[in-house]
Amino acid sequence: MRRDRKAAFTLIELLVVIAIIAVIAAILFPVFGRAREKARQAACQSNLHQLGLAVQMYMGDYDDTFPFVLDWSANVHATAVNTGDNGKHPLVPGVTGQEPQFQLVNVVAPYVKNPNIWYCPSVGPDFSWEAPIRDGSWKPGATMRDQGTSYVYNYCSTPNRCWCQQVFMGGKSAAILREAGRWPMLCDEPDGFASTSNEADPPSSVAPHSGGINVAYGDGHAKFHRIELADATYLAAHAGDGLYPDQ
């Protein structure tokens, strides 16, 4: 008599199924990765939009003037901060510009209900930025958490794209903006601030969103900007856009 035998996959069939699954996974994983990064980019853009609105609410309570901030962000070297109009240094004698009362994070804190929006989800508070550590702009071991944000604030703008014509924004009236929608107020760090043109790291490897950054402008709107080799430092090329005078 023949015994009843249960149907089963052969070894060849199992190997074929496994190979098909592996091929599908290889195709889909990069797609999922891009989708996750796109979601983080959108969340970051929303963060910058909310921070831009927080600055505008501050200005609404202080006679339409910009916050008195003396630093791009708290980890940069002291020689790069507390600089006034036309590069005068220091703007406020006796301070470094890195004190908490001169940081945007603290100045507009009453208008920010969720402290998590100070950090880009693609960077995070524990990110240690190697490029400025190597050139001495950051202290060794410093992270975004130390400065309270992963974003950079355009506290000292440059009309005509010349760093010899710096304009300190603190206390200035909003009327200094000819086109608020063109003036970059906040952006991703990295790599909207520090240049990588002399570094081994290309901008596409340090910009947090697939070779680009998010930027919030003086009217509160935010958008994505792709970083190119010729424009490795966004603020160096655009910090004075929309100001009087402007070329």
| pLDDT tens string 113-134 | 899 999 999 888 998 887 777 7
* Three-state secondary structure call for residue 217: strand
Strand partners, 178: none
Nearest CA among 152, 219, 216 for reference residue 179 = 219
Write down the residue that tokens 């983080």 correspond to. Answer: 40
Residue 142: which pLDDT band, with cuts at 50, 70 and 90? confident
**Residues 89, 82: Cα–Cα separation, whole Å:** 7
Name the one residue in this structure whose structure tokens are 């505008």. Answer: 56
**Amino acid at residue number 41:** Q
Q: What tokens appear for 13 in the block?
A: 């069939």
Q: Are 124 and 208 in contact (CB under 8 A)?
A: no
Per-residue pLDDT band at 19 (split at 50, 70, 90) = confident
- Please give the Cα distance from 215 to 35 (Å, whole number): 20
Closest CA to 229 of 241, 220, 237: 237
Domain residue ranges in the chain: 11-238
pTM of the model: 0.79
User: For 153-211, how does the pLDDT look when each residue is reduced to its tens digit (9 = 90+)?
Assistant: 998 887 766 666 778 899 999 999 989 999 999 988 876 554 444 444 555 456 788 77
Alpha-carbon span 131 to 123, nearest angstrom: 14
Distances (CA, A) of 206 to 140, 174, 191: 18, 32, 6
